[in-house]
A = this chain, B = another copy of it.
Amino acid sequence: MTQAAKNAIVLLSGGLDSMVAAGLAKEAGFTLNALTVDYSQRHRREIGAAARIAAELQVLRHIILPLNLREFGGSALTSDLAVPKEGNGSGIPTTYVPARNLIFLSLALGWAEALGACDLFIGVNALDYSGYPDCRPEFIASFEESARLATKAGATGEAFRIHAPLQHWGKARIAMEAKRLGLNAGMSWSCYDPTAVGLACGLCDSCRLRQNGFREAGIADPIVYAAHASEP
Which residues of chain B come closer than 8 Å to A147, judged between CB atoms?
99, 102
Interface centre among A65, A71, A102 (most CB of B within 10 A): A102
Which of B67, B71, B110, B134 contacts A99, CB < 8 Å? Answer: B110
CA distance A57 to B72 in the complex (A): 21
CA distance A65 to B99 in the complex (A): 16
CA distance A101 to B136 in the complex (A): 23
Which of B69, B114, B152 contacts A110, CB < 8 Å? Answer: B69
A151 touches B103 (CB 8 A): no
Which of B65, B92, B102, B115 contacts A109, CB < 8 Å? Answer: B102
Which of B75, B103, B139, B142 contacts A107, CB < 8 Å? Answer: B103
Number of interface residues of A (CB under 8 A): 46
Which residues of chain B come closer than 8 Å to A96, judged between CB atoms?
152
B133 touches A139 (CB 8 A): no
Which residues of chain B come closer than 8 Å to A60, judged between CB atoms?
none
A214 interface hit (Cβ, 8 Å): no
A145 interface hit (Cβ, 8 Å): yes
15 intermolecular pairs with C-beta atoms under 8 Å apart: A66-B66, A72-B110, A72-B114, A75-B114, A92-B152, A98-B112, A98-B114, A99-B110, A99-B113, A99-B147, A99-B151, A102-B106, A102-B110, A134-B150, A139-B146
